[in-house]
Amino acid sequence: MKVIDSVWFSNIGGLFGIVVGENEAGERKLYAGVVGGFDQKADEQALLGWGTKVNIPVLEELIAKTKAK
């Protein structure tokens, strides 16, 4: 699986990342988790290997709730 993009969030508790990965069939998925934060490429590969698969519809629902009515 190859990395398409990643985004990182940090605070006093550590570093959290979300990685867009693409498999050999061209399917893209999001993986998220906490990483060490010392090597971006290694952290991206770690998330692709053992990160939590992000449920995109749930994420879209949360984003929708941020919009004013």
Check: CB of residue 33 under 8 Å from CB of residue 48: no
Could you list the pLDDT tens digit for every one of the 69 residues in the chain? Answer: 999 999 999 999 899 999 999 999 999 999 999 999 999 999 999 999 999 999 999 999 999 999 977
Contact at 8 Å (CB) between 4 and 27? no
What is the model's pLDDT at position 8?
A: 97
- Say what the pTM is: 0.88
Question: Phi/psi at 68 (nearest 5 deg)?
Answer: -70, 145
* Alpha helix stretches (DSSP H) within the chain: 40-50, 56-64
Task: In whole angstroms, give the CA distance from residue 7 to residue 16.
Answer: 9
